[in-house]
A and B are shown apart, each in its own frame.
Chain A
């Protein structure tokens, strides 16, 4: 038994040093950065009518968030993923807030295995209804008395999240199968650091426009560019 324990400890030790080694190596990798642009006329902001719980929800105006194009034509809330890039997933805790009857962020990307802290800052009843298939779907009431619900998302999957009590509230959760991903900022810019050198397929996903991909060559210590242009579907 003792011997067995020793072997176990030794194995664990080796595994640990390997992961440390891997993360060190990845820290020394290359960077992919670029912009995701919209190939089309930017849609005018579409206002959403608040029909319920106006004392909390109507404090600020609401707009459709399914396609937000910045002044330079960049698309916000697109998820860029370096496909097949291996590395320590480092699942952690990510925050997902319901504030003023909006979801913040509108697109939440995280490595699979992470735990989502679903926060109810509003103090009114919301419900979290997920439309996932690989991960167990749930539809849970989050009343005022429960400020935070935690949900662990184990499988890589992209799925919609909505609130049935407030029909306009929609968001997307993107559980990635790689630690190398980014969500574009308001101007469509993104940057992914520490990617191990190699030739990768880099894919961008946007909830309304679908996906686009391209090959990107990543070299140690260098910055590779991955610019995307997305067209309206159909």
Chain B
């Protein structure tokens, strides 16, 4: 907690100081002081001069970071509004065009959770998605790294942390507020905050041990202040070194310089910071692998050695199969069918002329009368395949439907809805008021039975188990309870299923398992599902029955799932996949601001609430009271976050329709 106080001290170094002292010259882009679209986000084109031998090189970089200022009110404490993040994204793209590295400095307690356009969650998701594939080296320096605000500019190839900084999923006060279930009126006790801060393992040392930062820059004992010039020199050396290292690790000709850098720690070697096309690809691939490898120890996998071997064998098999089927065979097949179509067209044109002449003659022949009237069965019973393999016998009856009670629709005063009888409402109406269309919450099992074809669900990776990597007090117990209650080992259920015959891979976040929060196990399962979808060439559906955000008790282990999952989603999308997201109930925070929010096709059921932070958190962090329907799906639609709102009764049809239309010619599953 002392660290947190140091970090938040008004006299702590801020980005401006670093720009002045670490870089040799800079131009602030898009704002001075409070005249900026968002004064809490600073973007600057800076350069570092290096004298090597007799030559002087100017090496340009794009510096992006939050500015806390020294107690300046308008800086908003480094809490960046959505449009500030949008600006950051814009200049990351500029850096990509100019082929110069990005240095990002993270000085934020968290993002400002308002949903005004472009929307906190949406913009962060966009940033993370873009950074997942950005083709220039990114070095992040973390002083205060809180939650989504940090991730918005923090998906870096190398992460350096200041020794007195903290990097966490949530500020200790926030964690204490959630843990102690305190409300705005009753603040969490100091002791609890202290406890949370300790348990969340937010310090530089902890994060280095867990592997989430790569290096630590030592600060003076009470933290760096604006006049600690020795510290600036050290920091300068570190960022240059980090950039050099990244560049050299992916460049063809590096041999001696890499060795020299590592062994001698010699800053006097010159490395050009622009990249060739080949190295750009290597850079992105390396970044993917780096994040893919993180936090793999933070969950339990209780599958046996045999199962693992089987899975591995299956995966390899599928890779080979889909390579043959889609890459090798598919390409030729397409060429052949195109050719065949052309030929057929020609033949048709020719035949038409020929048959036309003979047809009159042909018709006069006896016994050629066509007998096709029965095809349409105007008076007899026709066959009716109502949906493919839709089995009446495995209908699901919600436990909510098994009680003799009536429910009053919350809109009854406005729209005069009659009270609804539970068996009707939950058994037949899918939990939707038949009068006004209000959606009552439904449990996830309902969806399993009502969206997917009967008996088509095959779960995989079920043994991956949510655990308590930080040994946070009480979490193990809570997880055990949730596991027992739901019968699942984590809040993410991944399976393959069919929707009217179309095979899809689904990752479902279950609201009943710790609020659908995402930790290391859930992230891993999500990633594996995306990989499976990519391997098998299937559409990938993320069904968010509900998510409360990142599981804060897992600390950075949870937070890291934001970039990790986004990277895998991006990899899937870039290989040509169709990624659909459907939100059902409350969907908030981290997942939304990363791997869910980055999907180009996001839909909501009418019951969904979508946003970055819940109303309580917004009140606590910003002091603003938000209107009661702030997070309703209709609002999210008008803000442009989601692409459509579906009625729950229609969801199966809509999903099928979406899969058919959005797949288009590049249908993965054809």
A binds B: no
Chain B contact residues, CB within 8 Å of chain A: none
